[in-house]
Chain A
Amino acid sequence: MPGLEDLYREIILDHYRTPRNRGELPPPARMAEGHNPLCGDEIHVYLDVQGDTIVDVKISGQGCSISQSSASMMSAAVKGKNINDVLALVKRFKQMMSIEEENADTTGEIDTSIKLGDLEALQGVVKFPVRIKCATLAWNTLVQALESPER
């Protein structure tokens, strides 16, 4: 469909059709629930954190192709990673989505050397401002899950 190639890149459609790390993790895994109140999208992020490492991640919920593919790509990008590296990746991703952190002083520098890989496919979303919230929903929920205690 002309005009939408930037938004609906093939890799996005692939993650939407076959989402990675789909499912739930039993307690005590951490869990956070994210909602986009405007459109009704829901994302649940489950994290098994051992020490400083995200050992496992699962995603459930419902939403549009952008929110679901972003969640799927995110899960693949953070699984097995150190928490600090993940937080740096979140910042880098939000920067790509043109989101300015409100408390830039405390959040530190954005490491632009971080490779986004498949996630770069989501850059086209920036041209569709209404959809940026769809792309970032999973990421905000991930941060909430990291800040949550074990269940």
Chain B
Amino acid sequence: MKKRPSDDPALCGQCHEEIAGNFKKSLHYTTAGLKHGVSPRFSPEEAKTFAGKVFPTACNSCHASCGDCHLKSPVISGVSAGLLQRHRFVKRDEGKTCALCHGGRVYPEFTGEYGGTPDVHYQKGMACLDCHSKSESHGDGTAQASRQERKERPSCVKCHPPGKETTEKAKSAHAMHGAKLSCSACHSSGPYRNCYNCHLGKGAEARPGFILGRNPRDPKMVTTLRVIPTVRDTFASAGIRMEKYDALPNYWGTVPHNIKKRTERTRSCDSCHEEKELFLRKEVLLPGGSKANEGLIAVPKSLK
């Protein structure tokens, strides 16, 4: 018996040629995002070691096969929830497929099981593929280094265009902050999972948090930040010291999937302009973290 028969997209490609061809280059299959997300920290020599020793076993081992989404739940930590609908193939069943690979952070935040308020879109009965297009899952035939390179990505304003607000308060708040704040900065309902102190083969520690700061990819925008658990000795056991560790910060912009119409920040100006606890400040930066972290500090002005 062949283990993971659909691991080679060519099998499904016998009938679904275009999808299988695209999928071979998709981020779900190549897991290239995991490689390119950390590679700026490596010297050329370290990059070779990472590509040869670490990536194939630690990162690429959890790529998705066709069957992981259309026939059975993917295997997580050696365990699978089994077939989705007996031996029938299914188009989508996000709660049993996406939810497992993305079950550490995204999905439990979305459903509220992480301990907060469920995302308003989940409350309305929406699931992953209602925002994330099929081409995000299958790829569009071009090889990409990260999801940031994808043209077709979810966007709040596709469904909620500026100017269509129903209250004056929302209209003026969006007009005033729209060019400076991401949607999630105000509409993420509360703490989301952050992982710290990751070590190759040992994993990371997780705890809830809520961090606002400059988006490393677009510093003029303040957004919700999530901690990147890579520490200086994450890959020490593979002989990688990360000579250029400080090339990247320890935080990335994130869209927590716990969106809510009204939050403390939409209710009160003071929650940002007077109480600064939610913002990344020098005194709360990760000890021993990247020097690039300081560039993400953004504390709003007092209105008084």
Do they bind each other?
no
Chain B interfacial positions (CB closer than 8 Å to A): none
B-contacting residues of A (Cβ < 8 Å)?
A: none
